[in-house]
Structure 1
């Protein structure tokens, strides 16, 4: 499956035009142009509006064909009935790719469907592929391109986000940005009349700024193309999908929303399983898992070591981890002997390790170090680390030690290259020691179950990659 040349100009444009740019601050064309400017796009920017000479300090052109230079990417925000003639003009101009913001196509019924077919025919004739229609725009971190009608300016990162719903995409983008989660790109796919999720995955598989992709989809039209894209993408990077429209009423809603064909949910599950796709049903879970893939190495096995500040969390971790099919190996004697020197005599001497509410952060770091360097453990779950100084009266003197131990923990993670996730059920995520860890990419979750689910997802994808590798080796 080849990547269409237009894709490059969506993710790597050197020049953009906003057709339908407006002086009205409430118009989509104005908002998108303003966001492109304020986002710091380094390339050439051309507003197009026959009724204006200048918008937001930029010279305005009456028609895309009047722009004196080449245009890589055109954003189209004009009424639906005008889109065909705008697309004709783009073809004449030699525009490489487009993003159609305008709604009022297949999602509104037969008349809109015919209009959508018309713009596809015009675009295909001119070799143009486009995003949308009926979308909220795109964000590409490496080009400083924020071309959406939203108010959120995403933080740069390593997670690519594809959404067939503008409302879902905008909401999730704000939720993630408020929590400091960064993106390499965001594509609001809309009706996917020209470019589909499959096309974006083919590009993102080889994009150096992307380590993991998350996708909200309601359905795909070309199942074979989708499977080929999954086959190519997932052998290189993890894919997390929130696929909705799995009930009869949800499928009907998807059809009226973006005109998507929801299809059999069992068929989707079978395809996802075959290609190692991680399916989720809530968007917070989607981002929780993506953060781990964006920052942590893949585990080499399914064996988990747990270090906990309390016994109840040990019980919760044991149930969560084993119910997910992961393993809890026994502690080797030498680890028990080492921890005997630091913990009270009544500690449990097993995995999960119960640090019996020991307030000293050095104990937790030592326990993690012992598990990290031991070949019996592939992943680490650390629960309740470095919260005593802030959350316990009279223990403020511990805070500098907790901050120092957080830095030492980072050194340990880098040294051994095993994934570690933190669960902090106390909820004090903004305290300095935890911020030190989170800013360096260590995921911190509110519950033990969340941490366990993330480790399970990482192992599922790592084992899928191992199976693919062994099949390739045996067939060569």
Structure 2
């Protein structure tokens, strides 16, 4: 069906059939008809021109409001017809709609669109001109429940106007919920509807009404098509043998870097190069078929035109996974896309799974695997990093080493010709070494499939995501980078939150979140306490907690009595707890003992320590480790300073307890976790505590 916009009368008819209130109206074709219709409807009325060629009615003088009588109705009809003939002479006019001019109220909007990745989504926000001025909207991927609709309404800043603001009576929120639910239902059920904009919808103390409807119908596109329905077997990511096809002795070749990086792999490693007898002291083979033993993985680093032939040989050999680092496929369009399809067809025929093509490769630090051409290998840790950019991986891995940050897996997804985000998420979900997952996303090919899987994974292990393309230029760069159109940034963020994924604006924020969750798991609630030896940071803690939605709880009387027994008499007797600048590790330890005994009144503890001549940072860090080990609550380290606290930071890092060098970053991270946790209350499983100090196997 060719795309077209329903006329206002058609739109009203559709809405009315769904039980959505619209103004009394009539499509008039003559001045007399308009006069009679206005009389039946009751004054005042509004008249609007109806023409498929006229989108912006006001621009052609096609709207007249405040019509108060029969003669005015006839004159308005004539004026609109004259205006349209003068300003849009080619437009075919169906008629003029006469509708009741609804009384004033709170104007909101309800919109819908078809996203190329996630399919149909719905938006809600303040309506009229305010939507463009404030951009105060909430978004959900459909379908939605009525509870999710209420969450949408509550989360916009303008909700205060619905609730009742400065003496204004509250508006009829339930009437609004019914309209959104009905519109969401018809949008999902009717494949013809591609987009709609109900703006404004006027909400009253009792009831609500749509007073302008823009509905576009046509062949529905988007929503993404799944590439493969077959789940990759989990043992696919635990190889016993790897071959490098295109292995080289030349340091400027990708095959050289890959082979060199894999020399530490404890399994069988086979260089494949028909021009060499040996490489790095290992026997080289002319083709993968000549290798005497089984081959689980191959890393392919030959020119793109040779890859189909190599894949045929891998199929004959029984290879299970091909990591194609070679570029020159779908990302260049045209012939490259056709070549990628040929490679994928061969892989399907032989049951070979593919990472890439056009990717950096994969790193599995606990298995001593660096199957990439990045010269740096990361430390083992508990965070799986799945990225759509190889350059971001190399930067992050380089950053992670001095930060002593470790990974359970690092995956460059490339073009996702076969394996995609959903497969790597399933792996991370079941991998014993993975405690949390970080994603860097440019595009999701199958948004609905991704959302379903990541929702299940995030229920078991925390998932944090950075989505690129929030700016217009960013969207263009993402598209050219991946060889496909990037979806709307706001839709991605909404889909992430619905699925329990924590969105982050920067990579540093993402890894702060991932490390905190890998160590501490989800907090059981939002009740927080803060302990510090610096009064200024106690004040800032209160400020940051309020800004980021963290509740600073009052200290119970019995806890105050116990603290007063050993703290100096001039401590602040409140939360955040300022235990004064002369506090040493012993004072911190005694306070931690009280909090361990009284775990029922708090969920999150921020421990803030600053350099002083009286404090040994190592001793304080050891007490923080003990505190964390002896409670099931979230403990957030905030040892602030530079070189003087290095000894303490090393202890925290060694025991996998994250530390935030900026206090606000700690509250921001916890606030982000709480925001997503609130939308999926009770749906995240609690990660079991692990012995996180050296020797624990992380």
Distance 2:399 2:340 in 1: 32
Distance 2:664 2:431 in 1: 32
**Offset at 1:114?**
1.5
Name which of 328, 346, 349 aligns with 2:570: 346
Partner of 2:668 in structure 1? 453
Q: Which TM-score applies when normalising by structure 2?
A: 0.63
**Offset at 1:186?**
0.7
Distance 1:250 1:164 in 2: 14
What is the CA deviation profile of residues 438-457 of structure 1, one whole-angstrom value per residue up to 9, with x for unaligned ones? 31122111111111122224
Partner of 1:474 in structure 2? none
Partner of 2:365 in structure 1? 141
Name the SS of the counterpart of 1:346 in structure 2.
Answer: coil
**Offset at 1:77?**
0.2
Partner of 2:584 in structure 1? 360
Q: Flag the structure with higher strand content.
A: 2
**Offset at 1:168?**
0.5
What is the CA deviation profile of residues 120-164 of structure 1, one whole-angstrom value per residue up to 9, with x for unaligned ones? 111111111111111111111332211111121111111111111
**Offset at 1:315?**
1.6
Q: Is the 2:244–2:255 Cα contact (8 Å) retained in structure 1?
A: yes
Partner of 2:394 in structure 1? 170
- How is 1:152-191 mapped onto 2 (pairs within 5 angstroms)? 152-191=376-415
Name which of 438, 442, 447 aligns with 1:214: 438
**Offset at 1:429?**
7.0
**CA spacing shift, 1:271–1:49, aligned 2, 3 Å:** same
Name the SS of the counterpart of 1:209 in structure 2.
Answer: coil
Name which of 533, 546, 557 aligns with 1:322: 546
Q: Is the 1:297–1:417 Cα contact (8 Å) retained in structure 2?
A: no
What is the CA deviation profile of residues 411-442 of structure 1, one whole-angstrom value per residue up to 9, with x for unaligned ones? 23212221111223323475323322231122
Report which stretch shifted further, 195-204 or 244-253. 244-253
Name the SS of the counterpart of 2:257 in structure 1.
Answer: helix
Distance 1:363 1:171 in 2: 41
Task: Say if 2:309 is the partner of 1:94.
Answer: no
Name the SS of the counterpart of 1:213 in structure 2.
Answer: strand
What is the CA deviation profile of residues 53-106 of structure 1, one whole-angstrom value per residue up to 9, with x for unaligned ones? 111111111111111222111100001111111112111222111100111111
Distance 1:429 1:300 in 2: 34
**Offset at 1:384?**
1.8
Distance 1:434 1:165 in 2: 30
Task: Say if 2:459 is the partner of 1:244.
Answer: no
Q: Is the 2:529–2:575 Cα contact (8 Å) retained in structure 1?
A: yes
Partner of 1:335 in structure 2? 559
Task: Say if 2:683 is the partner of 1:468.
Answer: yes
Partner of 1:130 in structure 2? 354
Partner of 1:15 in structure 2? 241
Distance 1:340 1:302 in 2: 26
Name which of 41, 52, 61 aligns with 2:276: 52
**CA spacing shift, 1:35–1:246, aligned 2, 3 Å:** same
Distance 1:145 1:281 in 2: 30
Task: Say if 2:631 is the partner of 1:407.
Answer: no
Q: Is the 1:156–1:183 Cα contact (8 Å) retained in structure 2?
A: yes
Q: CA RMSD in A?
A: 2.0
Greater relative contact order, per chain length (Cα 8 Å cut-off, separation 6+): 1
Partner of 1:24 in structure 2? 250
* Structure 1 residue runs without a partner (length 5+): 471-476
Distance 1:450 1:286 in 2: 11
Partner of 1:379 in structure 2? 604
What is the CA deviation profile of residues 376-415 of structure 1, one whole-angstrom value per residue up to 9, with x for unaligned ones? 1111001125x32xxx3xx5xx53xx53443333223212
Partner of 2:447 in structure 1? 223
Larger radius of gyration: 2
Name the SS of the counterpart of 1:416 in structure 2.
Answer: coil
Q: Runs in 1 of length 4+ with deviation above 4 angstroms? A: 460-465
Distance 1:308 1:3 in 2: 52
Partner of 1:33 in structure 2? 259
Partner of 1:431 in structure 2? 646
Task: Say if 2:685 is the partner of 1:443.
Answer: no
Partner of 2:421 in structure 1? 197
**Offset at 1:370?**
2.3
Task: Say if 2:551 is the partner of 1:311.
Answer: no
Q: Which TM-score applies when normalising by structure 1?
A: 0.91
What is the CA deviation profile of residues 171-205 of structure 1, one whole-angstrom value per residue up to 9, with x for unaligned ones? 01111122111111111111111111111111211
Distance 2:334 2:645 in 1: 52
Name which of 499, 503, 506 aligns with 1:282: 506
Distance 1:340 1:4 in 2: 59
Distance 1:221 1:429 in 2: 48
Partner of 2:231 in structure 1? 4
**CA spacing shift, 1:260–1:179, aligned 2, 3 Å:** farther
Distance 1:411 1:423 in 2: 15
Name which of 518, 533, 541 aligns with 1:294: 518
Report which stretch shifted further, 236-245 or 337-346. 337-346
**CA spacing shift, 1:235–1:41, aligned 2, 3 Å:** same
Name the SS of the counterpart of 2:411 in structure 1.
Answer: strand
What is the CA deviation profile of residues 345-370 of structure 1, one whole-angstrom value per residue up to 9, with x for unaligned ones? 33221100112312422222222332
Distance 2:449 2:521 in 1: 30
Distance 1:46 1:34 in 2: 12
Distance 1:155 1:79 in 2: 31
What is the CA deviation profile of residues 312-348 of structure 1, one whole-angstrom value per residue up to 9, with x for unaligned ones? 2112111111222221111122332333344333322
Task: Say if 2:635 is the partner of 1:417.
Answer: no
Q: Is the 2:528–2:602 Cα contact (8 Å) retained in structure 1?
A: yes
**Offset at 1:287?**
1.0
* Structure 2 residue runs without a partner (length 5+): 1-227, 686-698
Q: Is the 1:218–1:261 Cα contact (8 Å) retained in structure 2?
A: no
- How is 1:108-127 mapped onto 2 (pairs within 5 angstroms)? 108-127=332-351
Report which stretch shifted further, 90-99 or 72-81. 90-99
**CA spacing shift, 1:370–1:461, aligned 2, 3 Å:** farther
Q: Flag the structure with higher helix content.
A: 1
Distance 2:244 2:653 in 1: 38
